[in-house]
Amino acid sequence: MGYFSSQEVAVVTGGASGIGRSCALLFAREGARVVVSDVDQDGGSETVQLIKQAGGEAAFKAANVADPAAVEALIKFAQDTFGGLHALVNNAGIGGVAAPIADYPLDGWNSVIAINQSGVFYGMKYGIPAILASGGGAIVNMASILSAVGIAGSVAYVAAKHAILGMTQNAALEYSALGVRVNAVGPGFIETPMIAGIKQSPQVYQALVEAHPIGRLGKPEEVAELTVWLCSSRASFCTGAYYPVEGGYLAR
């Protein structure tokens, strides 16, 4: 038996590829019905087809998480399509511009904060009431190793990912006793489309690999395993915490 009953519903943002796709596929394998969301309609629809081909239930809803109305509509879509909401993974995010603080473009800052930080807030703002109405459940906010440390040239990304930890703790304090557990997962550098540009520079890529004591980058499936488990009843005493998945990066 999987983690979830066939009546339980999960929403995954940024589900068109990478960690989001792996989370959506694993939710389905563990028995949940899944709403996949992304701005990439082709990729998101492909994730849904992969779930259906494997015998699961899923639907796609396009949404830009920087738009609160779109996130509200996404949660309502899950309720209307599958009858409720029990698990939410606020995963959608972008890397942003690489530049030192004094040179960081304002539009780049605003874009990263809108998607990576405000998008998580909107997910919880509209997702928590839906989870409460469904009898309880869990949220995972996709943080980063850069929620705990900085990295030169990525001030907006680092700021947003640090903020996710604070929002996660606040939500856990406010809603855990009511039946909504909230945690943050912090991936290291993972083999996803987000790092495709880095792979064009073998020296930079190798430096990233060497920053992980385990000797490699992570796989999306490795992040999904922890994320989906945290959303299940098997993690029933886990809330308000930050769980890095990073091959030893933070131990240095």
- Beta strand pairing status for 33-38 and 9-13? parallel
* CA–CA dist 195, 191 (Å, integer): 7
Per-residue pLDDT, 220 = 98
Q: Which residues of 147-173 are buried (b: 16+ CB within 10 A; e: fewer)?
A: bbeeeeebbbbbbbbbbbbebbbebbe
DSSP 40: -
Is 213 inside any structural domain? no
Active site residue 122: no
The range of the structural domain enclosing residue 70 comes to 9-189+220-251
Is 212 inside any structural domain? no
Is 101 inside any structural domain? yes
Our count of domains for the chain comes to 1
Who contacts 155 (Cβ-Cβ below 8 Å, separation ≥6)? 100, 101, 104, 109
Is 195 inside any structural domain? no
- Give every residue of the chain whose pLDDT is below 50, as ranges: none
- What six digits make up the tokens of 92? 């959608």
User: Residues 157, 175, 243, 249: which is the catalytic one?
Assistant: 157
Per-residue pLDDT, 195 = 80
Per-residue pLDDT, 198 = 82
Per-residue pLDDT, 184 = 99
**Collapsing DSSP states into helix, strand and coil, what is residue 246?**
coil
Q: Tens of pLDDT along 20-64? A: 999 999 999 999 999 999 999 999 999 999 999 999 999 999 999
